[in-house]
Structure 1
Amino acid sequence: MHWVHFIPIGTTILAAYFFLQIYQHYRTKSSAKYLLWWMLGVLTYGMGTLAESINTLFGVMSWNVTYWYIVGALLGGFPLAQGTVYLLLKPRTARFLAVLFTSLIVIASICVILSPVDISVLSDGRLSGKALTWQWVRYFSPFINLYSFIFLFGGAIYSAIKYYRDARNDVRFLGNVFIAVGALLPGIGGSFTRMGYVEVLYVTELLGLLSIYYGYHIIKNDRSASIHRVQAATT
């Protein structure tokens, strides 16, 4: 087995550390809903790479395919994106979108749990949604992932542009660029996975989380004012 297959173990450890960092931040700013969602996002990110780690260490198992599909393909970047929604949009709109997409994910997850799993189609030992007998359940994920991409990547780009126009906020500009890159990388890796190169995903997941962490870290430690009212009031 190639060493690249063990990268998800390191990514899971990084996610656990990142989770604790945001948790400590959230404890001091418990009214910041965006921090709560980011914390959940890093948790689910780590849960997804944990499933990949289990697959590397113990091989393909039907329950792990189901678990991986829920936390990876369905949840994916949704909680991180929802944190950005709470940062950018009005609270009422953010709550509505949270309820709407959480309900969709719950319904989709139930369908995935109920679907039989045929691991015989995973002869290469790689996790894939093609093992789900009910292939129609895979149609849920594009809608959720598109929403996640728009707000996580798009939100970071939007913030970066706003900060770029203000020379006093160059650190926050740079931080949002790193977050945007981090949001983009797993999607690129996922495209390679569909072509049979899951190893690319393992690398981009690690680099993506490192990029998001660095962006979060430098923004958190920057003393300049945030352009976002919610963030300015709670950080």
Structure 2
Amino acid sequence: MHWVHFIPILTTILAIYFFIQIFRHYQSKKSAQYLLWWMLGVLTYGMGTLAESINTLFGVMSWNVTYWYIVGALLGGFPLAQGTVYLLLKPKPARLLGIVFSSLIVIAAICVVLSPVDTTVLADGRLSGKALTWQWVRYFSPLINLYSFVFLFGGAIYSAIKYYRDARNDVRFLGNVFIAIGALLPGIGGSFTRMGYVEVLYVTELLGLLSIYYGYQIIKKDRSTSIHKVQAATV
């Protein structure tokens, strides 16, 4: 087995550390809903790489395929993106979007759990949604992932542009650039996974989380005023 297959273990450890950092941040700012969602996002990120780690260490198991698809393909970057939604939008539309897409994810997850899993199609040992007998359940993920990408990547780019126009906020501009890069990388890796190169995903997941973590730390340590009213009031 190639050493790249063990990268998810390192990513999972990083996700645990990152989760603890955001949890402590949230404990001091419990009114910040965006921090709660970011905390959940890092948790689900780590849960996804944990499934990949289990697959590397113990081989393909039907229950792990189901678990991996729910936390990876369905949840994916949704909680992180929803945190950005709370940062950019007013509370009412942010809650509405959260309810709509959370409900969609729950419905999709139930369908995935009920779907039989055929592990014989995973003879190469790589996790894939093609093992789900009910292939139609895979049609849920594109919409959810599009929503996640638009707000996580798009939100970071939007913030970066706003900060770029303000010469006093170069640090926050840089932080948002790193977050945007971190949001983009797993998507690139996912594209390679569909072509059978899951190893690319393992690398981009680690680099993506490192990039998001670095961007988060840059912004957290900066003492300039945020352009987002919610963040300025709570951080």
Partner amino acid, structure 2, of 1:124: D
SS of corresponding position for 2:84: helix
Q: What is the 5 A alignment of 1:66-215? A: 66-215=66-215
Distance 1:52 1:196 in 2: 15
Any gaps of 5 or more consecutive residues in structure 1?
Answer: none
Partner amino acid, structure 1, of 2:229: R
Distance 2:160 2:91 in 1: 22
Instruction: Note the C-alpha offset of 1:208.
Output: 0.1
Distance 1:100 1:188 in 2: 26
Q: What is the 5 A alignment of 1:38-57? A: 38-57=38-57
Distance 1:93 1:61 in 2: 40
State the Cα deviation string for residues 140-185 of structure 1 (Å, max 9, x = none).
0000000000000000000000000001100000000000000000
Q: Does 1:27 pair with 2:13?
A: no
Provide the TM-score with structure 1 as the length reference: 1.00
Q: C-alpha root-mean-square deviation of aligned residues, in Å? A: 0.2
Distance 2:196 2:114 in 1: 26
Tell me which stretches of 4 or more aligned residues in structure 1 moved more than 4 Å. Answer: none
State the Cα deviation string for residues 164-216 of structure 1 (Å, max 9, x = none).
00011000000000000000000000000011100000000000000000000
Distance 2:121 2:3 in 1: 24
Partner amino acid, structure 1, of 2:55: N
State the Cα deviation string for residues 207-233 of structure 1 (Å, max 9, x = none).
000000000001000000000000000
Distance 1:189 1:117 in 2: 24
SS of corresponding position for 1:154: helix
Distance 1:17 1:141 in 2: 28
Distance 2:188 2:66 in 1: 23
Distance 1:118 1:198 in 2: 19
> Sequence identity of aligned pairs in percent?
88
SS of corresponding position for 2:170: helix
